[in-house]
Amino acid sequence: MSSEKLETLKARLGEVSDIHSAISLLHWDQEVMMPPKAAPGRGQQLATLSGLAHRLFTSPEIGELLHDLHEGGTLTGDDAKLVSEGLHDYTLATKLPETFVQKLAIAQSSAYEAWVKARAASSFADFQPHLQGMVDLMLEKADHLGYENSPYDALLDEYERGMTADYLGGLFGDLAPRQSALVDRIVNAPNQPDLAWLDQEWDPDAQWKLSVKILKEMGYDFEAGRQDKSVHPFSTNFDITDVRITTRINPRDLFSGLMGSMHEGGHALYEQGLRESDRRTPLGQSISLGIHESQSLTWENIVGQSLPFWKRQTARLIKAYPGQLDGKTPEDLYRAVNRVQPSFIRVEADECTYNLHVILRYEIERALIEGQMKVSEVPEAWNAKVKQYLGLDVPNDAMGCLQDIHWSHGSIGYFPTYALGNLYGTQFLEAIEVALPNLWSDIEAGRFAPLLGWLRTNIHQVGRRMTASELITHVTGKAPSAEPFMKYLEEKYLPLYGLA
């Protein structure tokens, strides 16, 4: 009886999963292939399919199946977990009234338009009422979802399940002053690299081919995915057999295309590595945005910006760009790819300054949600924090608090996951280095299989069987902490800048 119900539940959840796959394809196509005039029609198709997926998923049939199976108590192991995860999603989805979802969609659409214009005009005042609207809507959302301590907890939970404002406050409060002090030391170090040679034209075809070659070596399966070009690089998936990435090639930038491909490739390896038997069920999904980001950053930063990696790749680059890199050593490339330079724009920030961008956003959005800051105070707070953390004077709102799209979508609680990815990734690294003593010599030899194997077994194949915090404690023996990341930064950058 309960096994029959479980099969019915899986069939229903599978249908919802299929609709989400179609939605993801509609989005992918919109970014990569779609002709320009098709935008309004595509918006309508997306609205219809999203509404349909929500309606089907929150149907009484699925609700009853989930409750019956959960409360029946006869299921064990993965079956029990599948049901409890399904019930978690169902409960969340049914907590938001249809009227709220519609109100939010309308507000998002006008806030997005206002943001585009406000950013172009570099005028926060034009965006301010929309941001106020979003803060109000997110407070309403938090009330619908429920929380114990802070409404920010309810918002965070959507992106990083189980994470709380207080825990995050501890992590970031530890990290921010230390990372800022490190950046300050680096910026003032006498030993600054001369990187004038980077200012050349780098053949886009060669960049593309190199990225494909390295993606293949990483273990990305091109028979279950593809790489294309898009304005904003991203990864997406319709099934573990179809996980796609995009990249952007900048002819003036030797590294950004390749590092972008490795970043998206890291996301894609996670999705390609989910369990075959979990497909179309809640278990066959990634754990959280923070864990996802740990995978992209493992490949982009930890591997792709390491000296062993460049010991192998430098010869390739010299060959790929004839006459442009003659005489360059792996150490030269390693220094170049790891240049530290505080800047205004988050998406262009280097590994050493990046988290500071994230933390200041977290501090502002949390203060807004907890009522300690008014929306009108955002630009001033932003500029003060950029000065405090990065030592820079923000010239205008476009380079400051208007640069990111997230708040126009009401994505409050999302930014922290970027920094968590760095913390998780380096905390995993400590466990990997113990498990794989030859990690760095393997990377120097272009052998990524042991690393990928470890990630597959310990992270990817887990699906949603644990929360991020449970997984990290399980794998590393410690709760999530800022310590491994700070240690990683210091061990890497102090020598690079002659400070140790």
3-state secondary structure of 234: coil
Least distance from a second copy to the Cβ atom of residue 38, Å? 4
Choosing from 5, 10, 19, 91, the residue that interacts with a second copy (CB under 8 A) is: 19
Residues 220-259 within binding reach of a second copy (CB under 8 A): 221-226, 238-242
Longest CA–CA separation in the chain, Å: 73
How many of the chain's residues bind a second copy (CB under 8 A)?
A: 37
Verify binding: residue 15, a second copy, rule CB under 8 A.
Answer: yes
Question: Stretches 43-51, 71-79, 254-262, 436-444: which one binds a second copy (CB under 8 A)?
Answer: 43-51
Site string for a second copy, 202-221 (x = CB under 8 A): -------------------x
Which helix (DSSP H) or strand (DSSP E) does residue 218 occupy? Answer: helix 204-218
* CA 210/CA 306 separation, integer angstroms: 17
The pair of structure tokens assigned to 27 is 């989005």
Contacts of 251 (CB under 8 A, 6+ apart): 201, 202, 203, 204, 207
* Ramachandran quadrant class, 323 (left: phi over 0; alpha: psi -120 to 50; beta: rest): left
Residue 50 or 343: the one with the smaller Cβ distance to a second copy is 50
* CA 473/CA 487 separation, integer angstroms: 18
Verify binding: residue 57, a second copy, rule CB under 8 A.
Answer: no
Choosing from 2, 8, 10, 21, the residue that interacts with a second copy (CB under 8 A) is: 21
3-state secondary structure of 246: strand
Amino acid at 246: T
470 is catalytic: no
Instruction: Report the candidate in 295, 273, 278 with the shortest Cα–Cα distance to residue 453.
Output: 273
**How many CB atoms within 10 Å of residue 268?**
28
Least distance from a second copy to the Cβ atom of residue 48, Å? 4
**From 264, 293, 300, 365, active-site residue:** 264
Choosing from 2, 8, 45, 467, the residue that interacts with a second copy (CB under 8 A) is: 45
Least distance from a second copy to the Cβ atom of residue 124, Å? 34
Choosing from 36, 60, 73, 327, the residue that interacts with a second copy (CB under 8 A) is: 36
Least distance from a second copy to the Cβ atom of residue 61, Å? 13
Helix 165-187 / helix 483-496 crossing angle, nearest 10 deg? 10
Residue 225 or 290: the one with the smaller Cβ distance to a second copy is 225
Verify binding: residue 92, a second copy, rule CB under 8 A.
Answer: no
Residues 251-310 within binding reach of a second copy (CB under 8 A): 279-280
* CA 144/CA 48 separation, integer angstroms: 24
Q: List contacts with a second copy (CB under 8 A).
A: 14-15, 18-19, 21-22, 25-26, 29, 33-42, 44-45, 48-49, 52, 221-226, 238-242, 279-280
Positions marked catalytic? 264
